Structure 1
Amino acid sequence: MHPAETFELVFTLLLAILALHWFAERAKLPPSVALLVGGGALAFLPGLPVIELDPELVLVLFLPPLLMDGAYYTALAAFRRHSAGILSLAIGAVVFTTLVVGLVVHWLVPALPWAACFALGAIVSPPDAVSARAVLQRVKLPRRLTTLLEGESLLNDASGLVLFRFAVAAALTGSFDAVDASREFGFLAIGGVVVGAVVGGAWTFLLRRLGDETLMILASLILGWAAYLAGEAIHVSGVISTVTAGLVFGWYQHVVFTASVRIRAGAFWHVMVFLMEAMIFILIGLSLRGVLERVGGFETVLATMAVPVVGVIVAMTLARFVWIFGCDAVLALLNRLGFPIDDPLGPRAATVMSWAGMRGVVTLAVALTVPETMPGRDLMLVAAFAAILVTVLLQGTTLGLVIRAANLSDRGVRPALSLAQAEAAVAAAQLVAVRSQAYADDGTLAHPRLLEGFQRRADQAFQNADDEDTFVDEITAHYDLVLEAVRAGRAELVRLHRAHQISDETLHDLERDLDLEELSATAAKSL
């Protein structure tokens, strides 16, 4: 393809992303569904070239920044608190699903070697980080479930990739050693943590010394790729390395970034992650044509692969239900026996967790790396794409309904201070700082209005902390009025500029002040 044609194709895809995302918002559909279906429809348009995804490029281009973004915003305390549950999903559920799918595939296709069956199980076993993010952003879950799903999506790709690598090696060489495999898995995981911690710590140290805001934002972008490539270069888990670096960086960014960098970086990351997630789903849809051409078309799929593909999808779905409900039953039994490790999820929460198992880009990318000589390669490609299509279309569109039907309550560990109490503590600290410097050397009050303002803010904050129910209503009304004042100020500013009464420089300076005031009020209102 000519470079100009490649650019035209990318431009067309960006236009398609805009149109499909707009349609999804209007139709109240998950954007991932619209993008996946839209990409699949575009793949068969006359004149459009067949899109061939390079699996290695897809993984290294898209996965690190998306994992980095997820880890950056992860609540580290909650992650540690629920680490046992996260590891149970990220490792236990992936291994269990791999085994179940492998057994079912061998039962349906006895001629396929066991190692190839388990390789297919490893391909479809890990739910996808991008798919999980795309759905979780549009639903509200209790803190514990959100932490479990986000933590699982950050780590399970590593489990699936390692299992796939072992299964492929066993299929091609005819040998497999479970002890060696377990030892290597531990080395990959621990090595990934060490590399990620070193890279994240070094990056944080360097960021403090860059000074320039644009360079700091650029460095934060590069960190995900740096951690992933460093991990892969020394043959440990690049996924775990990236997640660890993101957790380290997310913990220290509060003291490394200035307010300006944090606002600018947040806006930049939001747009970049949106484009990457959207591009992944539309590229998966576009790859449908190439997958079908590789295996001989729809007729071949329906005639020779329909039954095993349906078996794979049913097996991987039921395996997740069995694992989650089984683990929950074990927790309940241990609690009754006097060994309270953690509270059980309960049937309704376990159902939500079990249904939130969408597959995505990692499943397809791994399937595309299957060697040409691997037995059952065509079945793996079709099953991978079908798993993505079915889970995103079915589970992605119905997860919100399942959550609402479950009517879950948030019974997680509550922080020591509520929002209003934390706000009062911050206001008190600010008042102490202002009061200590509000007086001149001779004892006269040098900043009476400033001191009065911070005193009034602290008094109001402590009053709100004592009556939080009234506080919520009052704070909403307060910031609604602030936003109305901002709108009125902006309208007058534009009128003055259009009437040539102020310069462009004055317009931009005052507009920036109003924008920051609006962002602050909107954020405070939404807390």
Structure 2
Amino acid sequence: MTNLYLIALIIIGVILTNIIKIYIHKIPESFLLILIGAGFSFLPAFRHFTLDPEFFMLIIIAPIMFMDGQKQSFHKLKTNIRVIIELSVSLAIFTALIVGVMTNYFEKNWTLALSIALAAIVVPTDAVAVKSITNGLAMPKGVNNALELESLFNDATGLVLLDLALSVISIGNFSLVSGIEQFLFVALGGILVGFIASVIIVRIRYSLNLRSVNAAATTIPINLLTPFFIYLLAEHLGVSGILAVVTSGVAHNWENNRLKLNSTEIQLTTHTIWETITTILNEVVFLILGLSLPAVINQMVKIGSINTFKLVILSIGIYVVMFTGRFWWIKLEKNQHIENLFGKNNQQERSFNARIFGISGVHGTITLAMAFSLPQTINNQPFPYRNELIIIATLVILISLLVAAVVLPMILPNAEKGFSAQEINDTRDQMIDYAILKSQQNITDRNLREAVISDLNSQKTNTFNNNQITYSDTYLTELGEITDFVSSYTHSDEINDEFDEKIVDLYNKILQRTLLNSNKRQHPFKSFRRQIRRTTHEIEFHVSTRTFTKKQKKKFRKQRMAQDPQYAAKVNSWNTNRLIILDLNEKVMREVDNYLETKMQTNLKNNVNSNELYQVRKTFDRFFSMMQRQYHQKHVEIDNSTFVKLFQDEFDFVQNGVQNQSIAPEIANILFNEINQAQSLQLMQNQQEV
């Protein structure tokens, strides 16, 4: 039960970060997560928190790497295989060697194998952390692709190098041949296990998808369990679980491309689930880093301030060496594929991109997990300098994050967008207004039309404001114009020839009184007190007349009409007038609908927002319902064919806008995606209600 509480608190920390991020934009998300994690470490539940490396690699890193692999197409990996090997293997090994040699030079008491172990720990980079820091900045596309390709496999390179270093520390000697053999066995074995296991799993899922009655309930859970199964299988066989999981992700990407439009619903659902899971896990990574900081600080206290200062200097030196190695590796490389990502050699662009690549070598929690995975003992002896290795790994992580967060915003320009959020919202509102206008023209049933308009309006960004009267100047102006229109229409020759003047005046009086009361901005307490008083009078009336049921009310009215002729005449007159007023109300309702349609056409033509017009429409719709004694809105079923036509109208509006260049292609792609999602969701909900 304690573990459930810990998981719940971690998720709460992620939620809290996303809430804070709304109000604090300048601090990178990764730093917010670390700070909140450090704050959570003071809670009793996390007071003795220690990072469990095996649990961390299985539950968090494996699914993240699986999803990262799915984002990379097989064609892209095949095209960039030399770049991947160069950045994830060659550069990682080169960086580890120079860091190991430098550390061994400064730490005279450390063996070279121990220094290489530290280097292997700090080699893995974290592309997700870089994205968090560079959000809103114009990161060069080639550098961004290189960072993603590098982070796919350099985690596995670091883990394999760490295993080699630990075996040397345990045995006491190193064989180059056996070291290369072990490296190839672990790396290539992980790729082979991931590929073979994925092919088998994909075939099982495909077969179940064709034969199962409820394929989603079977194939989606299998997909979710895949990275955990493959990681455990690979580790059990003594090969790289990380490489196996990444390979599995790439294989599943290949499966999705082959299926294309087959099993669309399952693919969309699976993709949405994985996007949500990996987003949360990527944030949990930095939260756990913050939770682990107190344990590292305690170790600093134990070794003393002088030794801590030496480790800080060494950590800075390690970071500088890694940056220098990454920078010169890219700057001097003459590989054609490297030129495609970083620009031609000996040019200013190459130097700039190499500098960005070096600074973007940010390290994450996998480095800390590898540090905490160091054994407590080796050869029945305490592991030498274990606490120091953990401290240095933590400091390198924090230094790389801090330098990237400070320097990258200084040297990278702000990302330029071809559109703003307001432009997207305005175009979306126009698209919805167009679909509403089409529904007014094509749907004859008014109840169905109003239900459709309400559903369409819910697509707008400011749906909350549209559902509640805002009493803006525009709203009051629109309301006044339509009220004047109704008054002019009811006093026209057409109406005067058909209806008595008293009926028309009574109708307008009810309209004015209703609109006046509906637009009064009353204090909530006064409104509540008025409702209490009205309810009290009703209770007193029913108690005094003993009319509680519908039958009792009808009997009381009949007796009173028989006993009171004036009351009977008044009731009969009202019933007669009511039928006439209902007839007048129908005519006014049609004219108001036509007026609103014309008004919306004008607004759409002039690119004017119709949100306030929709509020006015709702105000008049409530009045018409009241006149018809329809106080409770009827539930109207909207069939699938109607929804398909509505979404097609929205699609046509966007497509026509792209053709006449009034809508930017980038905005059109966003709206097309929203239309598809809204259509899928609406049809799914409609199907569930049937």
TM-score (norm 1): 0.75
Partner of 1:43: 41
Matched, 1:302 2:435: no
Is contact 1:21–1:34 with CA below 8 Å preserved after alignment? no
Matched, 1:22 2:25: no
Matched, 1:359 2:363: yes
Change in 2 beyond 3 A, CA 1:259/1:170: same
Q: 1:502 aligns with which of 628, 635, 640?
A: 635
Post-superposition offset of 1:185: 1.0
Post-superposition offset of 1:66: 0.3
Following the alignment from structure 2 to structure 1, what is the Cα–Cα distance between the partners of residues 100 and 65?
28
Secondary structure at 2:333's aligned position in 1?
Answer: helix
Matched, 1:8 2:5: yes
Query: Does 478-487 or 515-524 show the bigger shift?
Result: 515-524
Query: Does 52-61 or 131-140 show the bigger shift?
Result: 131-140
- Where do residues 141-290 of structure 1 align in structure 2 (5 Å cutoff)? 141-211=139-209, 212-256=215-259, 258-290=263-295
Post-superposition offset of 1:255: 3.5
Following the alignment from structure 1 to structure 2, what is the Cα–Cα distance between the partners of residues 381 and 526?
48
Post-superposition offset of 1:349: 1.3
Post-superposition offset of 1:397: 5.6
Change in 2 beyond 3 A, CA 1:357/1:269: same
Partner of 1:52: 50
Following the alignment from structure 1 to structure 2, what is the Cα–Cα distance between the partners of residues 329 and 171?
34
Post-superposition offset of 1:12: 2.6
CA offset digits 1:463-512 (Å, max 9, x no partner): xxxxxx9xxxx999976633555795526678899953226x75999899
Following the alignment from structure 1 to structure 2, what is the Cα–Cα distance between the partners of residues 264 and 519?
23
Following the alignment from structure 1 to structure 2, what is the Cα–Cα distance between the partners of residues 514 and 291?
59
Secondary structure at 1:175's aligned position in 2?
Answer: coil
- Where do residues 93-132 of structure 1 align in structure 2 (5 Å cutoff)? 93-128=91-126, 130-132=128-130
* 1:286 aligned partner, one-letter code: L
Post-superposition offset of 1:320: 3.5
* 2:30 aligned partner, one-letter code: S
Post-superposition offset of 1:342: 8.8
Change in 2 beyond 3 A, CA 1:48/1:312: closer
CA offset digits 1:356-396 (Å, max 9, x no partner): 11111211111111122221111111111112222223314
Change in 2 beyond 3 A, CA 1:327/1:357: closer
Change in 2 beyond 3 A, CA 1:47/1:318: same
Is contact 1:358–1:396 with CA below 8 Å preserved after alignment? no
Is contact 2:98–2:321 with CA below 8 Å preserved after alignment? no
Partner of 2:602: none
Change in 2 beyond 3 A, CA 1:377/1:335: closer
* 1:283 aligned partner, one-letter code: I
CA offset digits 1:160-219 (Å, max 9, x no partner): 011111112212321111221112111222222221211222222122122312322222
Change in 2 beyond 3 A, CA 1:17/1:477: closer
Partner of 1:442: none
Following the alignment from structure 1 to structure 2, what is the Cα–Cα distance between the partners of residues 75 and 517?
34
Secondary structure at 1:305's aligned position in 2?
Answer: helix
Matched, 1:386 2:395: yes
Partner of 2:79: 81
- Where do residues 311-322 of structure 1 align in structure 2 (5 Å cutoff)? 311-322=314-325
Is contact 2:428–2:671 with CA below 8 Å preserved after alignment? no
Is contact 1:124–1:316 with CA below 8 Å preserved after alignment? no
CA RMSD of the aligned region, Å?
Answer: 3.8
Is contact 1:35–1:282 with CA below 8 Å preserved after alignment? yes
Higher relative contact order at CA 8 Å, sep ≥6: structure 1 or structure 2? 1
Is contact 1:490–1:511 with CA below 8 Å preserved after alignment? no
Percent identity among equivalent residues?
A: 22
Secondary structure at 2:412's aligned position in 1?
Answer: helix
Partner of 2:669: 524
Query: Does 258-267 or 477-486 show the bigger shift?
Result: 477-486
Post-superposition offset of 1:150: 0.9
Secondary structure at 1:106's aligned position in 2?
Answer: helix
Change in 2 beyond 3 A, CA 1:357/1:210: same
Following the alignment from structure 1 to structure 2, what is the Cα–Cα distance between the partners of residues 195 and 168?
24
CA offset digits 1:66-108 (Å, max 9, x no partner): 0011110114333332222222221122212222222222232
Change in 2 beyond 3 A, CA 1:50/1:175: same
Change in 2 beyond 3 A, CA 1:43/1:516: farther
Query: Does 348-357 or 72-81 show the bigger shift?
Result: 72-81
Secondary structure at 1:315's aligned position in 2?
Answer: helix
Is contact 2:186–2:239 with CA below 8 Å preserved after alignment? yes
CA offset digits 1:194-249 (Å, max 9, x no partner): 21211222222122122312322222212222222222222222111111111111
Following the alignment from structure 1 to structure 2, what is the Cα–Cα distance between the partners of residues 519 and 148?
37
Unaligned runs of 5+ in 2: 210-214, 377-381, 437-452, 459-466, 468-617, 623-630, 655-666, 673-690
- Where do residues 317-328 of structure 1 align in structure 2 (5 Å cutoff)? 317-328=320-331
Post-superposition offset of 1:138: 5.9
Is contact 1:127–1:360 with CA below 8 Å preserved after alignment? yes
Change in 2 beyond 3 A, CA 1:65/1:484: farther
Change in 2 beyond 3 A, CA 1:81/1:371: same
TM-score (norm 2): 0.58
Change in 2 beyond 3 A, CA 1:50/1:478: same
Change in 2 beyond 3 A, CA 1:240/1:6: closer
Change in 2 beyond 3 A, CA 1:146/1:501: same
Post-superposition offset of 1:354: 1.1
Following the alignment from structure 1 to structure 2, what is the Cα–Cα distance between the partners of residues 512 and 16?
41
CA offset digits 1:321-342 (Å, max 9, x no partner): 3334234323189999xxxx99
Partner of 1:481: 430
Query: Does 275-284 or 80-89 show the bigger shift?
Result: 80-89
Change in 2 beyond 3 A, CA 1:511/1:69: farther
Secondary structure at 1:404's aligned position in 2?
Answer: coil
Following the alignment from structure 2 to structure 1, what is the Cα–Cα distance between the partners of residues 195 and 120?
27
* 1:49 aligned partner, one-letter code: R
* 2:455 aligned partner, one-letter code: R
Following the alignment from structure 1 to structure 2, what is the Cα–Cα distance between the partners of residues 145 and 335?
10
Secondary structure at 1:310's aligned position in 2?
Answer: helix
Q: 2:60 aligns with which of 59, 62, 66?
A: 62
Following the alignment from structure 2 to structure 1, what is the Cα–Cα distance between the partners of residues 255 and 136?
28
Is contact 1:127–1:153 with CA below 8 Å preserved after alignment? yes
* 1:481 aligned partner, one-letter code: Q
